[in-house]
């Protein structure tokens, strides 16, 4: 079996063979180290810090290389291996960042950074299943860095050097851990002769506004001839489980060899769901003893500024020659600030009222209400019936306007003798 490993602008062909752990050949010809086969969990260990990420002390390759920018890092430090090979990793989110740029004699080069996850990780702590990886700027300048991996949910294998970056232990984008593979020296797509299935989702980054819902399509793909039933489940981190609900339809799909099946994921966020860009949705597919997990980033956002309108009386009775009132409450939503103008129209609601030569008259005090962020304001609606108003039922349609935002409410008025 032959894998194409992308290095610079020239593909290097590497034959895959069964090699004992600790003596795996490097896929990058400039790296003389032999790789130690391990896993994400093997790199970061199983000791969690207060944020849920991995600690330095629990790492499996302490201390890692001393200089992440070195283009010829040591193969071991303090007797511990630094060059590793990890199979079957998956991009945590379907994008990577280009950052931390620097000027070199041959141009400006940047790190390509992203996080990978172990889709078979069984830990309930999601951060203990993740690892930050970087294609290094200095390696790019030297012409020895691999090309950036494609944005894909397909599993791939990586080789690179273990490094501890203490500056990002409190950063979500770094999985709340300093452990990373920096630099990534080479990568290749994973291959397996065993029938299996994979999970993908569209869109790859989920978004939902407070108080609303959104949908995404989960696809289950047959890999290497897999055929059978796959049971699906969806959940969110415990922090938002009480305010954000998930549902899948259907929860079981049937896949033919080489085929695929889809399910609709619906996300419902309450108005009190906490706003954050990096919540995690956990999608699982199970068939027999095999389980695959897909971690997807969920952003809960605040809706655009708005306001609501609410009359304290939605119906009233007014005698001819008199008037009635209803208090109209306007409430700022999602930090709305501004002025709201109130207008109203009156129309007959029954055949008797339609005979009236004069409809009841309405007024507001005040007709313009100013709202501060998340504050409230009130206006009094007065409805007056003259001696010429015919008894019957009328509808008062209230409109509240502020720029392009408009809301309405109705008050039913019964005129009696």
At 59-84, the pLDDT tens digits run 999 999 999 999 999 999 988 899 99
Least confident piece of the model among 154-158, 288-292, 390-394:
288-292
Read off the pLDDT of residues 190-215 as tens digits, 9 standing for 90 and up. 876 677 787 878 887 799 999 999 99
Burial of 107 (0-12, 13-18, 19+ CB in 10 A): exposed
pLDDT at 163 (0 to 100):
96
How many CB atoms are closer than 10 A to CB 366? 12
Round the CA-based radius of gyration of the chain to a whole number and report it: 31
Distances (CA, A) of 333 to 37, 46, 121, 303, 353: 54, 44, 41, 9, 37
35, 85 Cβ separation under 8 angstroms: yes
Distance CA 96, CA 249 (A): 30
**Average pLDDT of 29-58?**
91
Q: Which of 95, 96, 115, 97 is nearest to 54 (CA)?
A: 115
> Quick one: pLDDT at residue 20?
40
Tally Cβ neighbours within 10 Å of residue 151. 12
Q: Given this model, what pLDDT does residue 21 score?
A: 46
Q: What is the pLDDT of residue 12?
A: 29
Mean pLDDT estimate for the chain:
88
**298: region left, alpha or beta (phi > 0 left; psi from -120 to 50 alpha):** beta
What is residue 9's predicted lDDT score, i.e. its pLDDT? Answer: 30
Buried-exposed string 48-69: b where 16+ CB fall within 10 A, e elsewhere: bbeebbbbbebbbbeebbeebb
- pLDDT reported for residue 193: 60
Torsions phi, psi for 286 (to 5 deg): -130, 130
Judging by DSSP bridges, how do beta strands 252-255 and 228-236 pair with one another? antiparallel
- Other CB atoms within 10 Å distance of the CB of residue 333: 18
CB 51, CB 138: distance < 8 Å: no
Predicted TM-score of the model (pTM): 0.53
pLDDT in tens, 3-32: 333 333 322 223 333 334 457 899 998 999
| pLDDT: which is higher, 346 or 155 | 346
What is the β-pairing status of strands 97-104 and 338-348?
unpaired
194-208, 298-312, 373-387: least confidently modelled range: 194-208
Read off the pLDDT of each residue in 216-234 and give the average, rounded to a whole number: 89
* pLDDT at residue 147, rounded to an integer: 85
Least confident residue range of 36-40, 94-98, 365-369? 94-98
Q: Look at the alpha carbons of 57, 61, 62, 63 in this order and tell me if their dihedral is positive or negative.
A: negative
pLDDT at 22: 59
- For the stretch 317-365, pLDDT in tens is 999 999 999 999 999 998 999 999 999 999 999 999 899 899 999 999 9
């Amino acid at each position: 079996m032959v894998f194409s490993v992308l290095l610079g602008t020239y593909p290097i062909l590497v034959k895959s063979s069964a090699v004992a752990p600790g003596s795996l050949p490097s896929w990058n010809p400039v790296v003389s180290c032999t790789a130690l086969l391990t896993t994400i969990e093997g790199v970061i260990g199983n000791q969690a810090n207060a944020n849920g990420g991995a600690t330095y002390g629990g790492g499996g390759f302490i201390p890692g290389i001393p200089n992440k920018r070195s283009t010829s890092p040591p193969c071991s430090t303090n007797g511990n291996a630094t060059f590793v090979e990890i199979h079957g990793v998956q991009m945590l989110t379907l994008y990577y960042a280009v950052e931390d740029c620097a000027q070199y004699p041959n141009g400006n080069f940047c790190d390509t950074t992203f996080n990978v996850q172990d889709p078979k990780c069984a830990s309930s702590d999601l951060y203990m299943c993740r690892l930050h990886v970087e294609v290094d700027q200095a390696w790019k300048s030297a012409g020895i860095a691999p090309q950036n991996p494609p944005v894909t949910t397909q599993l791939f294998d990586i080789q690179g050097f273990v490094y501890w970056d203490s500056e990002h232990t409190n950063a979500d984008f770094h999985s709340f851990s300093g452990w990373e593979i920096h630099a990534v020296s080479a990568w290749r797509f994973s291959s397996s002769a065993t029938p299996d299935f994979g999970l993908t989702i569209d869109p790859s980054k989920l978004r939902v506004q407070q108080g609303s819902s959104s949908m995404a399509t989960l696809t289950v793909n047959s890999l290497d001839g897999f055929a059978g039933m796959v049971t699906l489940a969806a959940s969110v981190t415990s922090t938002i489980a009480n305010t954000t609900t998930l549902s899948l339809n259907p929860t079981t799909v049937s896949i033919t060899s080489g085929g695929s099946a889809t399910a609709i994921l619906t996300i419902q966020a309450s108005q009190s769901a906490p706003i954050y860009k990096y919540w995690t949705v956990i999608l699982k597919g199970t068939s027999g003893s095999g389980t695959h997990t897909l971690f997807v980033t969920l952003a809960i956002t605040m809706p655009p500024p708005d306001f609501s309108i609410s009359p304290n009386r939605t119906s009233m009775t007014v005698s001819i020659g008199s008037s009635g009132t209803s208090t109209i409450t306007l409430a700022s939503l999602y930090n709305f600030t501004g002025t709201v103008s109130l207008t109203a129209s009156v129309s007959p609601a029954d055949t008797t009222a339609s005979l009236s030569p004069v409809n009841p008259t309405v007024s507001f005090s005040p007709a313009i209400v100013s709202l501060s962020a998340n504050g409230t304001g009130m206006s009094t609606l007065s409805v007056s019936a003259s001696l010429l108003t015919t008894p019957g039922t009328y509808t008062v349609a209230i409109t509240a306007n502020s720029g392009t935002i408009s809301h309405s409410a109705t008050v039913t008025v019964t005129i009696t003798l």
